Amino acid sequence: MGDSSRKMDVEKLIKVSDDLVDFFRDERDVNNLAQHLESSKPLRSQCDADYTDVHSFLQDYQKKLGLSKKKADEEKSEVAADMELDLLQKELEEELDRELLFRDQFRVIVNDISDLQLQSISVKERWKFLGKLEQDELRA
């Protein structure tokens, strides 16, 4: 199968080359070709200038795109840092709330202890008073 397609390609090539040879045999066709080639030089020059301009614009846009990507990455990094900072701030506030709750509980406990100490003193004074009353009764 490869040989038959190759044979067809060779045959096409021979036919095209024969047509080309016939074309160049006529002096008028050669002159026309030369004239068209000459007239295409300004077009080629303009195309080269346009290509250079487009290439330059493309490079500028690629630089701008690179800078935009870099800025976007920096913004993402800043957003991540801000999110981390917000999380740390929240944790700090929660810790402060726990500390305030602990202080309030500590105050309640200290107040309860103070109340118990006062009650203890009151009870001791009552015992002393009762002891004096008993002694007074015994003396009496």
Residue-wise pLDDT tens digits, 22-62 = 777 777 777 887 888 888 899 899 999 999 999 999 999 99
Distances 132 to 82, 135, 139 between C-alpha atoms, Å? 74, 5, 10
Residues 22 and 20: their CA atoms lie apart, in Å, by 5
Q: What is the pTM of this model?
A: 0.41
Place of tokens 């990507």: 69
Interval 95-109 mean pLDDT: 92
CB 29 within 8 A of CB 23: yes
**Runs of H (alpha helix) within the chain:** 2-25, 27-139
More confident residue, 95 or 23: 95
The answer to whether residue 12 scores a pLDDT higher than 90 is: no
Interval 12-27 mean pLDDT: 79
More confident residue, 32 or 104: 104
Q: For the chain, what are the domain ranges?
A: 2-139
